[in-house]
Amino acid sequence: MQQALPLQKCSDSSVSYNEEPFAVFAGRVISRKNLWADVQRLAASLPDRAYMINLCENRYLFCIALLAAASRGQICLLPPSGQAAVIREIVADYPNAYLAGDGDPQLPGISWFEVGAPDSAAQAGRPVEIDWSASRLIAFSSGSSGKPQANMHTLETMRISASMAVGALGLQDQIRVMVSTTPPQHMYGLETSVFWPLFSRLVLYDRRPFFPEDIRCAVAGSAWPAVLVTTPTHLRHLGGGDWSNLSAVISATDTLSDQLARESADRLGLAPVEIYGSTETLSFAHRQILSDNAWQLYPGCQLSRNAQGQTYLRATHLPTDVVLPDRINLQAGNRFAVLGRQGDMVKIGGKRSSLSELNRRLLDIQGVEDGFFYLHHDQAGEDRLAAVVVSRLDKQQIRTGLQPYLDQVFLPRKIHYVDTIPRNSAGKLTKTEREALMAKLI
């Protein structure tokens, strides 16, 4: 049996209260002192409810709304999407909730609170009283494997996790603008673009650029060197141009292939660093695939195997051990390899592979913009693989691109072409959207 990876201690951190920059909001710099003035004023006007559903799209307004809710003893709910049906499901489970947002009121019949722009002339304030150990938020999983699941974390968990991550990535003493393409309601975006700046010298960037040129301009226009926090989906579409103000690239939500990592490094001038985690665990490991395929645990994290052969995480920031859904190979030096999801193994003709590996090989093909494999039953009841792609390549070109890496039995019998794959704002394809797409194709 493989040995458990040893637990390491991490350093403490606290919220800073000074004139250093905390955020870029509407083109102006907000100091760490002014942050708390904005939180104080907002907290005083919040409704007296138990739960806030934080729908703010502007990242700074999202941040002050979350902190204001915490100071009032309210639990912040972070929906996996802003779709009306999703919000109504959450309200049904948390009836004493209200919606808080920076856009137009949504969903008639549900209490709405507008989070307006703070007063630029306001005086700096002292940090509000927040019990980080008692204050909680609930983040919902993306729904890529089924109905979104609620995961509760204390703000103390978020604080310790941020300290671990920033330290592991060597960002703890740097003033860098965190330009993120992921919404703050998603755990990846929440960690990297809100809590990392809150507990370090990193700077929150209020907007979420989406199109490739908007992303490049956000990086180029930053007052300090920028860290791009993004996904493989976004990296795949980024072009050349001036990336001289870019100091680091962080990627998550899906694994990077060697090819995409190389292409990104060539275009951006920096090799992407991936972080690994989930809504339940937060991030707890990192790697740079062009240097090393193995993942390196953050200090404060330990992986072990239980009696059932499952890998579980024990970490300084988590109150309990968490069983991981992935198949893990433990290695020396606090490192590990991910072999795929527990439930994504496919067996055809007596041979095994994982859907995640098949998808990686598909997306590595030059000319395939997006795509995924799926398993279906043929008329004889046999399991067969098929693929859905966004590509101008013909079917034979795609199969030819896969042949050097896959056994013949894993080549897709059917290939469906679509204009786009309905991934969410975090770059993930939810189970609901995948099933709806397949219903149209089959």
**Least confident piece of the model among 17-26, 184-193, 422-431:** 422-431
CATH topology identical between 21-339 and 345-441 = no
- Give the pLDDT confidence score for residue 202 in this predicted structure: 98
Alpha helices by DSSP H, 332-422: 355-363, 395-402
- Give the pLDDT confidence score for residue 83 in this predicted structure: 83
Sequence spans of domains, the chain? 21-339, 345-441
Query: Which residues make Cβ contacts (< 8 Å) with residue 426, sequence separation at least 6?
Result: 142, 182, 183, 186, 188, 189, 231, 253
- Give the pLDDT confidence score for residue 6 in this predicted structure: 41
Residue 127: pLDDT over 80: no
- Give the pLDDT confidence score for residue 8 in this predicted structure: 33
Which is higher by pLDDT, 81 or 183? 183
Residues of the chain above pLDDT 70, percent = 92
- Summary count for the chain: helices (H), strands (E): 12, 25
- Give the pLDDT confidence score for residue 13 in this predicted structure: 40
Taking only the tens place, the pLDDT of each residue in 369-387 is 999 998 887 665 677 899 9
Closest to 427 (Cα-Cα) out of 226, 296, 227, 260: 260
- Region 49-55: mean pLDDT is 97
- Two tokens, residue 128: 């509000």
Domain 21-339 = CATH 3.40.50.1820: no
CA atoms within 13 A on the CB side of 87: 22
Tokens 């007063």 correspond to 119
Strands 150-154, 177-180: pairing is: unpaired
Quickly state the pLDDT bin for 3 (edges 50, 70, 90): very low
**Least confident piece of the model among 90-99, 335-344, 399-408, 413-422:** 335-344
**Least confident piece of the model among 117-126, 163-172, 336-345:** 117-126
149-182: string of b/e by CB count within 10 Å (b at 16+)?
A: eebebbbbbbbbbbbbbbbbbebbebebbbbbbb
Asked if residues 60 and 25 have their Cβ atoms less than 8 Å apart, the reply is: yes
CATH code: domain 345-441 is 3.30.300.30
Which residues are registered as beta bridge partners of 21? 31
- Region 23-33: mean pLDDT is 95
- Give the pLDDT confidence score for residue 36 in this predicted structure: 92
Which residues are registered as beta bridge partners of 127? none
Residue 7: pLDDT over 50: no
- Give the pLDDT confidence score for residue 288 in this predicted structure: 97
SS3 label, residue 397: helix
**Least confident piece of the model among 24-38, 75-89, 269-283, 378-392:** 378-392
Alpha helices by DSSP H, 75-144: 84-93
**Least confident piece of the model among 124-138, 140-154, 248-262:** 140-154
- Give the pLDDT confidence score for residue 11 in this predicted structure: 34
Spatial distance between the Cα atoms of 190 and 193, rounded to a whole number of angstroms: 6
Which is higher by pLDDT, 170 or 85? 170
Taking only the tens place, the pLDDT of each residue in 187-234 is 999 999 999 999 999 999 999 999 999 999 999 999 999 999 999 989
Residue 93: pLDDT over 60: yes
Average pLDDT, the chain: 90
- Give the pLDDT confidence score for residue 211 in this predicted structure: 94
Taking only the tens place, the pLDDT of each residue in 229-283 is 999 989 989 998 999 999 999 999 888 988 899 999 999 999 999 999 999 999 9
- Give the pLDDT confidence score for residue 125 in this predicted structure: 61
Spatial distance between the Cα atoms of 367 and 401, rounded to a whole number of angstroms: 10
- Give the pLDDT confidence score for residue 92 in this predicted structure: 93
